Structure 1
Amino acid sequence: MFNKRKMLAGSLSFLSALALVGCGGGETADSGGSQGTGGSDGDKELTFMFRGGEDEKKAYQAAINAFEDANPGVSVNVISTDADQYATKLQAAIAGNDIPDVFYVEQGDVMAYVDNGILKDITEEVENSDFDIENVWEYGINSYRYDGKNIGQGNIYGLPKDVGPFALGYNKAMFEEAGIDLPDPDTPYTFEEFVEVGKQLTKDNDGDGELDQWATGFNVNWSLHAFVWSNGGEYLSEDYSEVLIDSPEFIEALQYFADLQNVHGLTPSVAQAQTLDTYQRWMNGEIAFFPVGPWDMSTYATLDFEYDLVPWPAGKTGVAAT
């Protein structure tokens, strides 16, 4: 935990990593709000805001208990939100100058938050503590370095919480009901095969003339990467100096992704997704393929259907990517 100071907004992230950070700014102990206040008995309070499921809450409570035991006179006020509410509530706290002392920030927001004086430089605290920075994936640490011009170098403004890939999950019951062979767990579908299988899994089950089962429900922010990379495309050059989204490989993958909905009808329409988002439709057993992250495992354990994991469809490289 770090001294109170000021900090996030949702943007396209290339990893699912989040960080614990200390705010930077000019707040004082008697500023009020959730910044932490000095009690009459001299005790101090830190506010910790995070997003996550019940398993994560239990894990963090254990860590907080250990922190409080090691720091007599300091208590931690925990604010937890659902993932879909986190960014909105954090932005509201920032706008109201009622910012938590420690909270999550996506690495895609580090530059803007540092430039606006919100994040505290924690380099000295990290380097002068017992924390073993060499024991953490270097890219994870570097994602929270910023030198005022470039991400990846300079001082540290956060530490990675977790990093995990998106696997591709599929609803086994849908395959069995449709009489389709289950996907090979080691061999990805080609783009063309994925469309053909998807068409067989997109149905009007109740005969009312409206689709109520779909092949996919991919969010472009988190799922497009798999199609771009497997098709030989990239977002940026290796040294981050050139944007590459106008390459033929990228354009082809983006067009394929759009066609899943606009041409093949394998994804709920925009209007249908607004009525019930695709995450909930997957949870309800209405979607055949959906991303699965390690953070989803405890929630998906309660699904009413059996699911399994397969590689993402592969473009012209023939190699699945995530």
Structure 2
Amino acid sequence: MKNHTMRRALAAGAGLALAGTLAACGGGSETGGGGGEGATADEIEAALQEGGELTYWTWTPQAEKQIEAFEAAYPNVDVNLVDTTGTAESNQALQNAIAAGDGIPDVVQIEYQSLLQFQLPGQLTDLTEYGFDELESLYTPSTWGAVSQNDGIWGLPQDSGPMAFFYNQAVFDEHGVDVPTTWDEYLEAGKALKEADPDVCIGNDTGDPGLTTSLIWQAGGQPFRTEGETVTIDLADEGTTKFVDMYQQVIDADILCDIPGWTDEWYAALNEGTIASITFGAWGPGILEGSVPDGAGDWRIAPMLTYDGTPVNAENGGSAEAVPADAPNKLLGVGFLKWLNSSDESIEAFMETGGFPATVKQLESDEFLTYESEYFGGQAINEVLAGGAENVVEGWQYLPWQAYANGIFADTAGQAWLGETSLADGLAAWQADNVQYGTDQGFTVTE
């Protein structure tokens, strides 16, 4: 591998700049994406063969191995790797670079939930002009839907996060409680575990906006719709109401540990077995294997809990890579992105260290599906996780200012977890604040 640069992208300021607002400054067209260029597949390949230098911003740990393989395939291209540490830091740094008109990367990782924040102000390249519409069949419908909105293709899926039910079989066995398969059974199992041992919770949740939106999605809700500058918010639609009716019972039963996720206390509780299950995305095995060593051999993975036995699922997390509209080496960036997220060599390097693919070929491969995890007691976990990807409800959209919305969740909907309001009223308050915010940013917001 060449001596490519790896450094930290430092975000100026403490808060997250909201790139998706219509008031945001920066490059790109006024119609929602960089346009007027484009190239054929042959022209993209010729640019890669000729070579040059490009900059790639990402926080994925697989990037160095992928770049090593890319530079071996295209020795005339030098990729400068910038570790942006995480989504919030990356979004902040990207918005700062766009505002300054300097230091813009050629390829950047962006979470699916943040794509609209950069796409609507015209800060991303429409990859349709580079023939990327021909790649649609490579990806799962839900991830392709996330990158292809508003009459354009704004990135390529890197990974996917179909939800599943992760549970500590030893804890359920110890207390003689059946592992649930439906949300009704989850409620009853949570009560039984709590009665058997007051220190044990079936799960944890202190009001996580990402989990909440995923569970609304799984219930069939589509509360956020964006068409150009018009945004509709309805957190009382049929699917959201279905989720609320179920989850209010979970909150009221006091069966969840009051422990925020991703904290030292959370990892300790998972190691001790006081949190008996988690519902999160297909990237979860790496989290448990790397940070919950005491659970080795005890944990298992089951399909996502259902309402009535019908397998219906949602995504939880996941990212794409995109080419900024004002990328200085755009054609090289487009070529690198195409290789990064569609070549077998790159995707296999991504998967070797725990990445969960968005590509149908890898998800359906025998090697992937038959892999048996020692941590999960020899279970062929990918059969479950890939099966979950097939059942994701299509058509979900995030708000164009989802990062801001998540930031105000605790003060509105999050009050339901504190017993200060009902979940329905909390979501109504969250809706009202988002309607006001979107209106203030120049969107036409309807309810």
Q: TM-score range by the shorter chain?
A: 0.5 to 0.7
DSSP 3-state at the match of 2:68: helix
- C-alpha deviations, 1:181-215, integer Å up to 9, x for none? 4x26xxx2352x3222102323796xxxxx64321
After superposition, residues 47-126 of structure 1 pair within 5 angstroms as 47-53=55-61, 57=62, 60-80=63-83, 86-97=86-97, 98-126=103-131
After superposition, residues 1-322 of structure 1 pair within 5 angstroms as 44-53=52-61, 57=62, 60-80=63-83, 86-97=86-97, 98-127=103-132, 132-137=135-140, 140-146=143-149, 151=150, 154-181=151-178, 183=179, 188-191=181-184, 193-202=185-194, 212-218=199-205, 219-222=208-211, 225-226=214-215, 229-230=218-219, 233-235=220-222, 245-247=235-237, 250-261=240-251, 263-269=252-258, 272-273=259-260, 276=263, 280=267, 283-284=270-271, 285-302=273-290, 303=292, 304-305=294-295, 306-315=298-307, 317-322=308-313
The root-mean-square deviation of aligned C-alpha atoms, in Å, is: 4.0
How much does 1:257 deviate? 1.5
Counterpart residue type for residue 93 of structure 2:
A
How much does 1:108 deviate? 3.4
How much does 1:9 deviate? 6.8
Q: Distance in 2 between matches of 1:274 and 1:65?
A: 34
Q: Percent identity?
A: 23
Gaps in structure 1 of 5+ consecutive residues? 1-7, 12-22, 26-42, 206-210
TM-score, normalised relative to structure 1:
0.63
Whether contact under 8 Å (1:202, 1:266) holds in the other structure is yes
DSSP 3-state at the match of 2:246: helix
How much does 1:113 deviate? 0.9
Q: Distance in 1 between matches of 2:261 and 2:303?
A: 28
Whether contact under 8 Å (2:55, 2:107) holds in the other structure is yes
How much does 1:290 deviate? 0.3
Q: Distance in 1 between matches of 2:242 and 2:160?
A: 28
Given the superposition, is the C-alpha separation of residues 223 and 289 from structure 1 closer, same or farther in structure 2, using an over 3 Å criterion?
Answer: farther
DSSP 3-state at the match of 1:141: helix
DSSP 3-state at the match of 1:77: strand
Whether contact under 8 Å (2:202, 2:256) holds in the other structure is yes
Q: Distance in 1 between matches of 2:282 and 2:156?
A: 19
How much does 1:287 deviate? 1.1
| Greater RCO (CA < 8 Å, at least 6 residues apart) | 2
Counterpart residue type for residue 277 of structure 2:
F
Q: Distance in 2 between matches of 1:99 and 1:282?
A: 41
Moved more, 116-125 or 239-248: 239-248
Whether contact under 8 Å (2:160, 2:282) holds in the other structure is no
Q: Distance in 1 between matches of 2:146 and 2:255?
A: 35
Given the superposition, is the C-alpha separation of residues 172 and 112 from structure 1 closer, same or farther in structure 2, using an over 3 Å criterion?
Answer: same
DSSP 3-state at the match of 1:109: helix
Whether contact under 8 Å (1:224, 1:257) holds in the other structure is no
Whether contact under 8 Å (1:282, 1:290) holds in the other structure is no
Q: Distance in 1 between matches of 2:301 and 2:262?
A: 27
Whether contact under 8 Å (1:268, 1:278) holds in the other structure is no
Given the superposition, is the C-alpha separation of residues 115 and 313 from structure 1 closer, same or farther in structure 2, using an over 3 Å criterion?
Answer: closer
How much does 1:243 deviate? 5.7
Map of 1:17 onto structure 2: none
Between Structure 1 and Structure 2, the one with more helix by share is 2
DSSP 3-state at the match of 1:294: coil
Gaps in structure 2 of 5+ consecutive residues? 1-16, 21-32, 36-50, 98-102, 314-447
Whether contact under 8 Å (2:279, 2:304) holds in the other structure is no
Given the superposition, is the C-alpha separation of residues 249 and 166 from structure 1 closer, same or farther in structure 2, using an over 3 Å criterion?
Answer: closer
